[in-house]
């Protein structure tokens, strides 16, 4: 059995993330979508809320598990008995950062492989940061996030206004 980890902050999950999750789930026996707990980052949603949104978005995928972690990704990957880390690439700027991380992870844990997946063309410009910014400024985010996430954004950001 081949288990893969797809780590990220997912604040919030976008349709770009979902595209990678669906495609990753089709290539591995099990895919763990792991929300990074990073207290230094100012997240809009709590880790628990992000996990709830993810679980709702992937409920039809029987081989996808949603979890959270802190610390080194390679340590978490080893604890989960996974052999692959999936990372999404939208642009050259993503590649430079992700390559650096993948090489450090390889140095720390040579038995864990990083697999880069190109974003689908329809999602290559989407980021959680950009979705939040567009929404805050009154823009339409239809098609950028699952409908349940759009509802949560409305509830969260309309309260903060």
Q: Which residues are catalytic?
A: 17, 41, 90, 128
Give alpha helix (H) positions in 3-142.
Answer: 15-25, 47-57, 73-79, 92-108, 128-136
For tokens 């844990």, the residue is: 109
Q: Answer whether 64's CB lies under 8 Å from 21's CB.
A: yes
Report the distance separating Cα 63 and Cα 67, nearest Å.
13
CA 53, distance to chain mean position in Å, is 11
Short-list 36, 107, 31, CA closest to 76: 36
How far lies 98's CA from each of 41, 76, 116, 155, in Å? 18, 18, 8, 33
């Amino acid at each position: 059995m081949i288990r893969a980890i797809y780590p990220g902050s997912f604040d919030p999950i976008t349709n770009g993330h979902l595209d990678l999750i669906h495609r990753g789930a089709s290539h591995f026996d099990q895919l763990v979508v792991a929300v990074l707990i990073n207290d230094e980052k100012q997240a809009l949603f709590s880790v628990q809320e992000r996990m709830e949104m993810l679980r709702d978005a992937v409920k039809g995928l029987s081989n996808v598990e949603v979890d959270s972690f802190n610390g080194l990704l390679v340590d978490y990957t080893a604890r989960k008995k996974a052999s692959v880390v999936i990372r999404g690439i939208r642009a050259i700027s993503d590649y430079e950062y992700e390559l650096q991380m993948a090489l450090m992870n390889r140095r720390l844990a040579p038995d864990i492989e990083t697999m880069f997946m190109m974003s689908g063309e329809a999602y290559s410009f989407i980021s959680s940061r950009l979705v939040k910014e567009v929404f805050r400024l009154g823009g339409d985010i239809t098609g950028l996030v699952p409908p349940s996430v759009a509802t949560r954004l409305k509830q969260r950001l309309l309260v903060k206004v």
